[in-house]
Amino acid sequence: MPRSLPLLPAALLSALSLVAVPPGAAAGEGQPDRAHVWVADDGTRVRREDVGLPLSRGEGNALFRPGEPIRLGALRGEVVAFQVIVEAGAEPVRGVTVEVVSLGPAAGAGTPAKEPAKEPAAPAQQPQAPGEPPAQAIRIDRFVEHHVEIKLRSRNDRRPMESLGWSPAARPPDDGHLGLLPDALIPVELAPPWAPYPLEVGAREARAVWIDLHVPEGAAPGALEGKVVVGSASHGALASLDLRLDVAPATLPYSAVDFIAFYEADKVAERVGDGPAVEQQLWQLLHEHHVDGFASVRSPAEVERLRTAIDGSLYTEARGYRGPGQGVPPAAVALGAYGGFGDPREETLRRVEAVAELLPPAVDDVMLYAVDEQCESPRGPGWRRLVRGSRLSSRILVGHSCGEVDPVKQDVDLVLTPANRFDSVWARAAREAGKRLWVYNGALPRAGTFMIDAPLTGLMADGWIAASHEVGRWFLWETAFWHDGNRGGKGPVDPFTVAENFHNQDGDACLGDGMLLYPGTQRGKFASRSLGFAGVLPSMRLKSLRRGIQDAGYIALARSASPDAADAIVKEVIPAALDEARDTSPAAWSSEGAPFFRGRAALRALIPAGASLDPAGVRRVLAEAAVARRALVPLAGAQGSSDGRDGRPADGPGPAEPGPLGRWRRTGLLLAVAALGAAAAALALALYRRRRRGRGAEGR
């Protein structure tokens, strides 16, 4: 059967969607004739050309209504974010500033209002400077949203509707994902002439400032009030919006679900600069976003270089760190990521042992990463046999990545499986057999995707998915993939100007894949786009991932008090994910931020005053949530159908018994047609799954 046939319906639907929504239709009923200021939540991406959106008038906007305050809620230890959008009318607006002023306890009756005073801000993870707010005050970080032009979507050259980030049916529509998309977030203090602050807003264009409000764990609960003041050099005052932040009397758990992110130290050093300051800032920035760096160590010298990052001392005020998770070490360390120690040999085992015994005991998992995406490789089983005879056998887990074989049948301790191939039945059997299972990366509709040309809510959804499914740790294969160094790659790119950063020999081209960070300094041929900052910068996608991980903490706190109500909220926000979702359907969660915002508010309302959970409590509550989820949401292969893997029947009841003979005579033809269609869909899905793999050092 020609491969194009199963993809034809998705292709037709996408084509029809382009006809139904002509270019520019997203601009709404009319473009403004004068400058306009509005506010968006942190799950919304506004392109430079998106002026006059319904959201800008408050329609469907969870945060903004003209004439009403911006209302945010937070727990202690949480970062809440929003975006201030400035649209120009027929004339450009020059020199636009966005300030949060007078953010303090709400004034009581008869209490005089405070005199407005600008709130100082600092680039992420810089030591506290004189004049900055005290440790228990709300810290405010502001970022310029930098745009990159998208002309071609993530794709496979032979199957343009398909990519490593989605199945054809789940491909996000072109409307909203072509054009000038924001992603890199540049601290206003570092803004260069090519992404200036104060902002320069062209005629009929939109520009934005992203704002993080850091609520410390020691913050007093209650209402805070302030203003968002927007001014300009060309048009004077543009807006003064009331801001209300309600801090609940409960504490958010740090990193309620485990996301671990790899980076290639030599590639970062090559682009940004060598030296401990760069690498330490990268670790601190990830840690601030509830993500662990995934160290790959192959020698005692590398352990020493990364010791403060691995033992947790890097995340303290003494080291200039002011974020959440003070002193918390990373959950896992890799011994030779992506097969860095090569084939199993006795002499190599001595090197492995020398490295492993230097690792701090606080690290939960020490993984010998035997090989990547080669299920048939003998490396994993060979290393497992060697390590079993080692004096450190109880310390080292031998693992590899493979999504095509039942983990129980894989002779390793730890299996990494692509999130879009996660199988609840296999995972449960693996745990019962004493094996560990993690997931990695993700593709729509089963999990969120890295890609820039996809809704921000995908990575946000991953936090909710991790909180309600037993996925173990969630591994992100790269975070600073600016070099496109695959087999079939096209070489280094400037990520501030080129979004298409990933190519392989299978014809895949991806936008933003493995790139949650941007270089603060660029050397060599990209030096003209350098900020001169010795470190890395966040993306909007990293912020979205943080939002989802924080939401997992909400889920744990809410579920510890009201399990049924919390489970119902999660089900409403994430109706289907992982093996609950079908590749022949779009993602089940919203592409808009508002449903996540409302779900978060509903969870917050369930959290009792004074609530907090230690890591063991979080794990227990979320494990119970995963069990409850299986009773609430059926797997995609339920109702007696086959899921196409090894002919194994999916969970769920078998087919119903035939009805009376008369009913069969009336409906026999329909049933036959339905059965034929189901068989064809199952065959197409099986072929699709066999062909697709996750990506890693070997599989790219």
pTM of the model: 0.86
Q: Which residue has the tokens 């939002």?
A: 547
pLDDT at residue 274, as a whole number: 81
Beta strands 296-297 and 332-335 are: parallel
**For 432, phi and psi rounded to 5 degrees?**
-65, -25
**For 359, phi and psi rounded to 5 degrees?**
-75, 140
Q: Would you give the end-to-end CA distance of the chain in angstroms?
A: 27
Encode burial over 103-112: b for 16+ CB neighbours within 10 A, e otherwise. Answer: beeeeeeeee
DSSP symbol at 42:
T
pLDDT at residue 127, as a whole number: 39
**Helices 563-573, 594-606: inter-axial angle, 10-degree rounding:** 180
Q: Cis link prior to 330 (omega < 30° from 0)?
A: no
Rounded CA-CA distance 626/470 in Å is 6
Question: Kind and range of the H or E element at 194?
Answer: none
Rounded CA-CA distance 572/570 in Å is 5
pLDDT at residue 275, as a whole number: 82
In sequence order, the 6+-apart residues with CB closer than 8 A to the CB of 8 are none
pLDDT at residue 679, as a whole number: 53
pLDDT at residue 31, as a whole number: 54
Q: Could you say which residues of the chain have pLDDT below 70?
A: 1-32, 108-135, 638-700
Q: What is the pLDDT of residues 296-339, one digit of tens each?
A: 999 999 999 999 999 999 999 999 999 999 999 999 999 999 99
pLDDT at residue 33, as a whole number: 73
**Helices 540-561, 457-468: inter-axial angle, 10-degree rounding:** 30
Indicate the SS3 state at residue 334: strand
Indicate the SS3 state at residue 24: coil
